[in-house]
Amino acid sequence: MIIRFIIVISSLIIFSFPMLAREQIKIVGSSTVFPFSTAVAERFGKLTEFKTPVVESTGSGGGMKLFCGGSGENTPDITNASRRIKKTEANKCIENGVTPIEAKIGFDGIVLANSRKSNRLEISQKQIFLALAKNIPDSNQEIIPNPFVKWSQIDSSLPDVKIEVLGPPPTSGTRDAFAELALEGGCQEFDFIKALKKKDKSAYKALCHTVREDGAYVEAGENDNLIVQKLLANPNAFGVFGYSFLEQNSDSVQGSIVNGVEPEFEEIASGVYPIARSLYFYVKKEHINLIPGIIEFMNEFTNENTWGDEGYLVDKGLIPMDESSRMGWAKKINDLQPLDLN
């Protein structure tokens, strides 16, 4: 009888105080934010009592899908993103009981790069659109399938080689941002297309954001390092990836000059470089008291020695926000303020 009583009491204790689900923070998401998140995770694991977080590169879209899928030990705690969360993704989070805490960490530029064995490209956003959009306007303002095979067919100042651009897939935030900033930026150079935005927004977006699928643009996966390697093997090809990877491989690849502006640290930080975007991570509020170390990890990421002007992430290629912005975001992040898309 006494033994049975002890068993019952033990069972009640187990159910009242569930065992810790997981002892390691799980992070998914953007391949661009991956090296920054990995650097913070490694430092966090060395300098604190917590285990080193597991960081996986799934792409921004793939990370959001996993993150917003629900809460619990089998779902990630944090997702990295090289673009802001979409309203549809935020709604999916809400539907599944997930409360995202938004953390903006800095900036990055998207580069159109090639091997240093070739000449450096000087190109405009309009020319990028004409090279890589699925459909483009002809001289009669009719929309036709993209006919260009060589860069020189767009403009004689461009290389007389086949258009071959290696880039990320649709699940990537880099792909989203490249379409929005580079392609749409060039698309708007046509006045009649710009006017279409007011008349039919969905038709405008389909035209300005859709990348061609005839082999000129090659989806090369989420691994930006692999794109760099392929550029070295093919000097005529170009690659699309974040500035941080250009910085890390500047001895072998070079970034194209876009609209007369070089993809340099100062130009991206000041907003002069036309293909620049903000970087983020999102924390699942429901996991903060479930998985150990999440708050401490957030504190590490928002430390001035991490994301500040002289922080170790700058050495990895992160373009920092100004001090006032960093202070504002640090307060929002560490006060655990839920996402507000308004």
Tens digit of pLDDT at every position of the chain (342 positions): 544 444 444 444 444 334 556 899 999 999 889 999 999 999 999 999 999 999 999 999 999 999 999 999 999 999 999 999 999 999 999 999 999 999 999 999 999 999 999 999 999 999 999 999 999 999 899 999 999 999 999 999 999 999 999 998 988 888 888 998 999 999 999 999 988 888 898 999 999 999 999 999 999 877 778 898 999 999 999 999 989 889 889 999 999 999 999 999 999 988 899 999 899 999 999 999 899 999 999 999 999 999 999 999 998 889 999 999 999 999 999 999 999 887
pLDDT at 21: 65
Q: For 109-276, which CATH superfamily applies?
A: Periplasmic binding protein-like II (3.40.190.10)
215: left (phi over 0), alpha (psi -120 to 50) or beta: left
Give the residue range(s) of CATH 3.40.190.10 domains in the chain. Answer: 2-108+278-334, 109-276
pLDDT at 9: 41
10 Å Cβ neighbour count for 101? 21
Strands (E), 19-167: 26-29, 54-55, 78-81, 100-115, 122-123, 135-137, 143-145, 165-167
pTM for the full predicted model: 0.78
- Phi, psi (deg, nearest 5) at residue 138: -95, -170
Helices 34-47 and 294-301 meet at what angle, rounded to 10?
Answer: 120
Up-side HSE of residue 195: CA atoms within 13 Å toward CB?
Answer: 4
Question: With b meaning 16 or more CB within 10 Å and e meaning fewer, what string describes 114-141?
Answer: bbbebeebebbbbbbbbbbbbebbeeee
10 Å Cβ neighbour count for 245? 23
Is residue 12 packed enough to be buried (19+ CB in 10 Å), middle (13-18) or exposed (0-12)?
A: exposed
Helices 191-199 and 201-209 meet at what angle, rounded to 10?
Answer: 140
Torsion sign (Cα): 111, 112, 116, 122:
negative
Up-side HSE of residue 90: CA atoms within 13 Å toward CB?
Answer: 13
Reply yes or no on domain 2-108+278-334 having CATH 3.40.190.10. yes
SS3 41: helix
Distance CA 207, CA 187 (A): 8
pLDDT at 13: 41
153: left (phi over 0), alpha (psi -120 to 50) or beta: alpha
Distance CA 62, CA 67 (A): 9
pLDDT at 341: 83
Distance CA 112, CA 83 (A): 18
